[in-house]
Amino acid sequence: MSGVRAAAGPGHQRTAPAVERAWSADPYADALHAGRGPLFLRRADGWLLPLDVERWCAGADAADLEVLRRCEGPVLDVGCGPGRLVAALGARGHRALGIDVSVAAVAHTVGRGGQALLRSVFDPLPGTGRWGTALLIDGNIGIGGDPATLLRRLAQLLAPGGLLIAETAPHPDVDEHALVQITDANGTPGAPFPWARVGTPALLRHARTTHWRPTAQWSTPERTFVALRRE
C-alpha cells in the first residue's frame, strides 16, 4: 500500500507530511522487516481493517499470478509495498517499476531484485504517458481517499489505451471514504490520513465518470479484481 499527496496546484501534488510519516512509521516498517503483523488501518470510530502483511511479504500467489498474466507492456505498480509483484514481473521478463512512500517498502523491493522509487503516484514519475499497465493491488485504490482523482491521475501516466488492474473490496456494496491511522497490536495510532474502500460497483461508477472502460472482472474466494482500459 502507498501513501498519498495533498494538492499543490494544477497538474502536480506534493506529499502530505502526515501521510508520508504514517507509511514510514515504525509499526509499518517493523512489520515489513518482520514479515508479519498484526497491523491495521484504524478508523476514528475504532473499527480496524487488518492488513495482510504476511501475504505482502511472501511470493506472488495464484491470484497475483493471474493479475500478472494480464499485464501489458511496461508495468507501474502503485504502492508496491515490499515488492512481490515487481519481483515476479521482472522474473517474467516485464519491465516493471514499483513506487511507494515507505522507505522500508522500497528497500524490500530492491532487495528482491526489483526496481522501485520512493515516490507517490502524484509525484512526477518516469515514463509518464507511456506505461502499458498500472496496478492498484492490496487496497491501493484507496490512495488519497478519492478514487476518481486517482483514476484521473493514472490516465495521465498510462499510454493511450493503457490497462489498469485494480483490486476492489471483497464486499461489493462498500463505498467508504474515511480518515484512518496505521496501528499495530499495541494500539498506538499514527497520524490520520484519507483512505477509501470501494467494491466493484462503486469502482465502475467512478470509472464511468473518469473515461475508463471496464474490460474484465474476476475473483477468487477472498479477492476481487477489475480491469479498466483508458479511453
* Number of domains present in the structure of the chain: 1
CATH code for position 87: 3.40.50.150
Distance CA 218, CA 52 (A): 20
Cell (9 digits) for 53: 502483511
Quote the Cα angle for 25-5-123, to 5°. 105
85: domain range? 5-230
Q: Is the peptide bond before 192 cis (omega within 30 degrees of 0)?
A: no
Taking the C-alpha atoms of 203, 39, 85 and 127 in order, what is their torsion angle to the nearest 10 degrees? 70
Q: What is the pLDDT of residue 10?
A: 28
Say what the alpha-carbon torsion angle 231, 209, 77, 185 is, to the nearest 10 degrees.
Answer: -170
pLDDT per residue rounded down to tens, the chain (231 residues): 543 332 222 233 334 455 555 555 578 888 999 999 999 999 989 899 999 999 999 999 999 999 999 999 999 999 999 999 999 999 999 999 999 999 999 999 999 999 999 999 999 999 999 999 999 999 999 999 999 999 999 999 999 999 999 999 999 999 999 999 999 988 877 788 899 999 999 999 999 999 999 999 999 999 999 999 998
Q: How many degrees, rounded to 5, is the angle at CA 13 between CA 4 and CA 200?
A: 45
Contact 102, 96 (CB under 8 A): no
The confidence score (pLDDT) of residue 19 equals: 56
Among residues 230, 164, 167, 231, the alpha carbon closest in space to that of 200 is found at: 167
pLDDT at 216: 98
